[in-house]
Amino acid sequence: MKRKFDLPLTITLAVLALFVFIPMLSAFEFSIRTPVKGGYGWDQYLWAIREEEFFYYIIRSGWLAALTVVITLIVLVPTMTWLHLSKSTIRPFIDGVSLLPLVIPVVAFAVGAQISFPEFVQNTVLELPFLYFVLALPYAYRTLDIGLNSIPLKTLTEAARSAGANWCRTIITVIIPVIKSAVVGTVAITFALSLGEYTLTVLLHWDTYVAQENILGAIAISMMSLIIPFLVLTALTLVAPERSTQGRK
């Protein structure tokens, strides 16, 4: 049967698409301007790429984002599995706490969170992945929550435990493969947010981008920080296994 055309949903998606892409297209148009020559060109992008430290900062941002992904999965997957299995009464409280990064100002968060770290962490760039993890928490939490809600979690864990698997093996070999789409989504969102984060790094006086004395070049770098995560997100979505479909009658 053909799906019924959903006009309200189509209008909503169209408005959201305009809300997201119009600012991006405007920034892209501004970044390719050539005030000296007039017209448009790729001068600012070439300037950014030719900077001596460009690839150094790209690699640095990449491994910091990858470390954030590892921290996110190690912390959230076991924790959320326990929350779903235990039916704990504190789950509504944790749901609320996971939303706090959306309402706490970045300035207050950066300064307050950094002071709470041990001194040996405050003095290294390794503090950034932990802060990125907190910023990505609202999105990663709900992505995994949807994945865990969509499977018979209790049945799967009881079957794995009865077969002799410990909790670590159950999570790695049973739960994660079943919610692979949710895990891939979490990885993509966390990586993209961490790779494109700029305000937090500036507040904490860490450099993860080329020096931005050139305003058009800065916009070009910002566009690349959006495009690269988008390409990563698209690639992960394409390689993610499709959900198994029900057999036809």
What is the chain's pLDDT, residue by residue, as a tens digit (249 residues)? 456 667 888 888 889 888 878 888 888 888 888 877 778 888 888 877 877 777 777 788 888 989 999 999 999 999 999 998 887 788 888 888 899 888 888 888 887 777 787 777 777 888 889 899 999 999 999 999 999 999 998 999 989 888 888 889 999 999 999 998 889 889 888 887 887 777 787 777 776 665 555 667 777 777 777 777 677 667 766 665 544 444 444
Answer yes or no: is 236 within a domain: no
Answer yes or no: is 194 within a domain: yes
State how far the Cα of 140 lies from the Cα of 12, in Å rounded to an integer. 24
- On whether the CB atoms of residues 170 and 161 are closer than 8 A, the answer is yes
Answer yes or no: is 156 within a domain: yes
Answer yes or no: is 204 within a domain: yes
Answer yes or no: is 239 within a domain: no
Answer yes or no: is 231 within a domain: no
State how far the Cα of 30 lies from the Cα of 15, in Å rounded to an integer. 23
Q: What is the dihedral of CA 203, 50, 24, 65, to 10 degrees?
A: -50
Answer yes or no: is 81 within a domain: yes
Give the residue numbers spanning the domain of 109: 53-209
The domain spanning residue 171 has which CATH number? 1.10.3720.10
What backbone phi and psi angles, to 5 degrees, belong to 3? Answer: -70, 140
CA atoms within 13 A on the CB side of 79: 16
- Say what the pLDDT of residue 72 is: 95
Total domains in the fold of the chain: 1
Answer yes or no: is 167 within a domain: yes
- Say what the pLDDT of residue 246 is: 40
Region class of 46: left (phi > 0), else alpha (psi between -120 and 50), else beta: alpha
